[in-house]
Amino acid sequence: DAGVIQSPRHEVTEMGQEVTLRCKPISGHNSLFWYRQTMMRGLELLIYFNNNVPIDDSGMPEDRFSAKMPNASFSTLKIQPSEPRDSAVYFCASSLEDRRNQPQHFGDGTRLSIL
């Protein structure tokens, strides 16, 4: 079965540019999560969707960050304008929220470098 698919795997861009990260969750999953990982702060949750609706965006660092989930099979995380401190690995995860307490499954991440 296909897992969570993220693109691109690597992104290098100059500061000030817009960056768009993409995620395709596992088919049938109804929850989607965006995380960011840095050496200093470890893995942090940015935003969480359930049934395509943002439920908790308290982890989004600032207004330069936005996330959308237009349908059950696609989500984007956008940074505009990007800054060097946004450099990190960004992970997307999905799960099936039901009574059986299903685990989250992660993609392989997008390694973002802002110069």
Partner 1 sequence: DAKTTQPTSMDCAEGRAANLPCNHSTISGNEYVYWYRQIHSQGPQYIIHGLKNNETNEMASLIITEDRKSSTLILPHATLRDTAVYYCIVRVHRGSQGNLIFGKGTKLSVKP
Q: Judged by CB, which is closer to partner 1: 18, or 108?
A: 108
Minimum gap (Å) between residue 81 Cβ and partner 1: 27
Q: Judged by CB, which is closer to partner 1: 40, or 63?
A: 40
Minimum gap (Å) between residue 83 Cβ and partner 1: 24
Minimum gap (Å) between residue 28 Cβ and partner 1: 16
Query: Torsion-angle region of residue 39: left (phi > 0), alpha (psi -120 to 50) or beta?
Result: alpha
Q: Judged by CB, which is closer to partner 1: 65, or 91?
A: 91
Tokens of 64: 């330069």
Do residues 9 and 90 touch, judged by C-beta distance below 8 A?
no
Binding site for partner 1 (CB under 8 A): 4, 33, 42-45, 48, 55-56, 91, 93, 97-98, 101, 103-109
d(CA 96, CA 98): 6
| Separation in Å, CA 63 to CA 25, 66, 79, 104 | 24, 7, 9, 26
